[in-house]
Every structure is written in structure tokens, then in C-alpha cells.
Chains A and B, each alone.
Chain A
Amino acid sequence: MSNWTGVLELDMESRQGRTVAKNVYFQGAFKVMRPVYHNNYSYPCYYLLNPGGGYLDGDTYRMSVSLDEEAQLTLTTQSSTKVYKTPKSYVYQETEFHLKKNSYLEYLPDALIAYENAKYVQKNIVHMEKGATLLYSDIVTPGWSPEGKQFSYDTLRLKSEIYMDNELVAFDHIKLQPEQQHMTGLGFMEGYTHLGSFIVIGEKTNEALLDRLYEAIQEDSSDFAFGLSKLAVPGFTVRIMANRTQIIERIITTCHQIICDEWYQTKPSFLRKY
């Protein structure tokens, strides 16, 4: 365990309808701030932060979050995650979520910025029980490079495995290697630079929700491309390509609001960052 650059464990439970932490542990270059109960919600929002300011050569991070039955949690970052050049070894981040029946997790981190020659590998493993709900997003963007290259990072590899009652129900694997791929070309990023994903698993997913999301996204007049599709279990993926982080964030926020409205008749809290 002590070989990790940063470790974080967060275990949540529901006590008389209010979600509280039963274990918070962090070590090294990984931290959470004190929880915030936005709008007097019955569940907290935790902000993750990386005191080092960014991920460096060979860094390894491990996060493990568990939610007991009925527990609810919002998890986000305080700011974007920066991956700097990794001349020797790639940066690795591993995240495991365990969601018991009727628990609710929204994990909506800020964008990941990969700078020149950065190599980054991320692996997410979600174990959920039927009846649990997951909202997961990620955004990857290229960092500024001195030569003005659009894609100066070396490798971004993002892998997610989602299991429901111990069976694999969704698998996502993106690998971007600008040196070896025709990034701007057909089939790749097709003229865009930023890639966003929003994966939702929830039993209440239906066609009407997907139609509403599709129409709402289409109303946004900025320059982006997106796809929206149902998973093999109740749930869906939204994939977005754009040239600015804000556009992707706005689309994810729109989807988030619609889900909260359709499923819970609530408004999501604005995630204050500064």
C-alpha cells in the first residue's frame, strides 16, 4: 500500500436518512476536504484535491469509495487534474467504487489536462448492486505546448469496467496516442481536441429520458459533436467531442439537471469550487 503516491478511502453509510462517512482515510498526495452538505441536502459533497498541484512522472494513485445501502454521495475535484511530462513511467490512477443497493453516487471530477509528453493510464472499476445509481463523468483535454501543437501528450488510456451483481455490464476503453494516430482525421477526434464522457446507470432509464436529453443537448448551439446511446442494462452513455472544456461541462450539467428532475424532482447543487 505504501508504494502509492496517494491513497484515498471513503466509506459512506446512511444513518436515519442522512449520509455520513464511516471511514475517511487518505495518505500521500491525495486529500479530501471537509464534506459540504449543499442546500441542506441529506448527503454530502466531498471535494478531492491533489496537494502536489499535478501528477508527475511515475505517480500512482488509488481511490476506493464505498456506499452502503441507501447512502448518497457527490464526489468531485477542487480543480482540474494536470498530468505533466512523464519521461520515465506513466502516471497511473486506479479507482474502485462499491455501490450497495439503493445507493447513489455522482462522481463528476473536473477535466484532466495532459501536457506535453504526458502518459496517463486510468482504470475505473465499479461494482454495483441492482438498484444502485451511478453518474460518472470524465473530460480529457490536451495541455498547452510550447510549440503550439494541438496534441502534445504521449498517451491517454482510460478504461472503465462496470459490474452489476458481479457481472460485467459495461466496458469502455479509450486510448489516444497522437504520435501514432491521425488525431484530426476521420474516426478519431475529427477536428476536435477535448473528449467528454458521461455514463449513467439507473433503473429508471427509459426512452423518454433519452429523448429529452437528446433534445436538450441539441439545443446548445456551440460547436461540438455528441452521441447518446443506451447500455445493455438500464443506463446510457453520452460521448462529447468539443474544443473547450466549458462546452462539455455545460452539456454534462444539462444532462445532470434533467436526470435529477426526472428521477428525483430535485435540482443538483452547483458545485462551488473557489
Chain B
Amino acid sequence: MTDNALSLFQLCDSNFPTGSFSHSFGLETYIQKDIVQDPETFSEWLKVYLHEQLAYADGLAARLVYEALDQDDLEKIWELDRILTVQNLARESRDGTQRMGDRMLNIAESIYEIPILSTYRQRLRNKQSFGHSAIVFTMVGHYLQVEKETTILYYLYSTLVALVQNAVRAIPLGQTAGQKVIYSFQKELKQATDKIMHLDEMDFGVVSPGLELSQMQHERVGIRIFSS
């Protein structure tokens, strides 16, 4: 691992304060319905979430942002910020990604002096952009000259680790069971990254009906420890 990859790895820590601990992206709905209740059923949910939603939205956006940064095509990045936000038809998930994006941008700005981060911040202030952690993460990865594929893989990993931590608290699972899930997902993360590298831009934002329904339904679930 290069020093730069290590720097990017800091953003993957589940203690990195983006507020990801308060968002389950519909997982809590499945927990409330007793559909997700152990490491096996949680892994099943995580697989679908990773391959059928995250890959087409955050993952593909990360790749396209990276490519746009290579070509210095900033307009493309702002377009992606918008589509990545509005494709989320479930309000809580959409608001959640905005809040997390905003906080990740804050911390990234305090660590790095990257001009594009300031531009992004300015756009958020002017309400020209929404803010999304996949975009901030990619901006940092690109700045650190971490390869595109690695940047995507790390971003997916960071999301996965946060969701596992949330599952450990909410289902609940033992910490060891959680770590075993993370370990067992190494292959899945590579597969998802591989798929993202080969996706066509027209595949952007594909959503799986059941997942989306659970994210909408979360607004009205009885007991909530998460905001999405």
C-alpha cells in the first residue's frame, strides 16, 4: 500500500465522523419486519444493496467523477452531484446522503487543501449542488493519485464497514460476527468494483424495487434508531 492509499484509507474508518452511524438506508425496515435477523440474512441484504443499488448509483458516480476530474470537466461533476441526489426517490436516504456528503466535505477540507473541495463547498453554500460523500471521497482519491479502481473499491469498503457497524448495533450481531461479514465481502467488493468499471453510463441509477420500498417505508416504521 502506498502512503497515498493509506491517506485515503483514513476516510474509510467507520469512526470517520460523517454521520454514517445514523443511516441504515432501509436496513432498519427489514430488521423491524424480522426479515433481517442474523449474519446470514444481513449478508443477503448487504449483497443486494451493494450490487443492485450502490454499484449503479454511488459506485458508477465515483467512476464518472474520477474520469471527469481526469479531463477537468467540472460541469460533469456538478451534473453527477445532482443526478446522484435526485435519483434517490426515498426522502430520508436522499437527505442522509446530503448530510453525510456535507460532513465528509468539512473534514476533508480541514485535512487537505484541494481547490476542488473549496469549489464544491462554495456550490453547496450557494445551493447550486447538494453534496455527496461518493463525490468528496473520489475528489480526495483523485488528488492523492490513488488509482480509479482502488478509489472505487475503498469507497465501497467504507460504506460496507459503516453498514456492518450499524447492523452490529441494530440486529444486534456480535462484533466478531460483524468482522466475519466484512471479511466474507472482500470478493463481493471486488466483483462490484469490476462491474462498475464496465457499466455503461446509461445504467446509472438503476434501483431495485424492494430496496427502494424499504427505504420509503422507513419514514413510518415504529421504532427507529436510524434516520434512514
Q: In the complex, how many angstroms separate the beta carbon of A217 from the nearest chain B beta carbon?
A: 11
Q: Is the interface of A mostly helix, strand, loop or mixed?
A: strand
Q: Which residue of B lies closest to A157 (CB)?
A: B206
The verdict on B66 contacting chain A, using a C-beta distance below 8 Å, is no
CB A238 to nearest CB in B, in angstroms, measures 9
B3 at the binding interface (Cβ < 8 Å): no
**Choice from B87, B94, B206, B213 contacting A225 with Cβ under 8 Å:** B213
Closest Cβ–Cβ distance, residue A213 to chain B (whole Å): 12
Chain B nearest CB from A248 CB (Å) reads 12
A176, A229, A241: the one contacting B89 at CB < 8 Å is A229
* Cβ-based interface call for B155 (8 A): no
The number of chain B residues touching the other chain, given as a range, is 35 or more
Q: List the B side residues contacting A168 at CB < 8 Å.
A: 82-83, 86
Closest to A199 in B: B89
Instruction: State whether the Cβ of B38 lies closer than 8 Å to any Cβ in chain A.
Output: no
**B45 contacts the other chain (CB 8 A):** yes
- Known A173-B205, A173-B206, A188-B208; judge A241-B213 contact (CB<8 A): yes
The residues in A between 160 and 178 inclusive whose CB is less than 8 angstroms from any CB of B are 167-176
Q: Say yes or no: B87 contacts A187, CB within 8 Å.
A: no
Cα distance A232–B208 when bound, in Å? 20
A239 and B216 form a contact (CB under 8 A): yes
Chain A: which residue is nearest B217 at the CB level?
A227
On whether the beta carbons of B220 and A174 are closer than 8 Å, the reply is no
Partner among B44, B83, B219 whose Cβ is within 8 Å of the Cβ of A229: B219
Which has the most chain B C-beta neighbours within 10 Å: A176, A225, A232, A241?
A232
On whether the beta carbons of B208 and A171 are closer than 8 Å, the reply is no
Residue B157, interface by CB 8 Å: no
Q: Return 27 A-B CB contacts under 8 Å, by A number.
A: A168-B83, A168-B86, A171-B86, A173-B87, A173-B204, A173-B206, A174-B207, A175-B206, A181-B52, A187-B49, A187-B208, A187-B211, A188-B209, A188-B210, A189-B210, A190-B210, A214-B220, A225-B213, A227-B212, A227-B216, A228-B219, A229-B90, A229-B219, A231-B86, A237-B89, A239-B209, A239-B213
Interface on B for A, CB 8 Å cutoff? 30, 35, 41, 44-45, 48-49, 52, 56, 82-83, 85-87, 89-92, 94, 203-217, 219-220
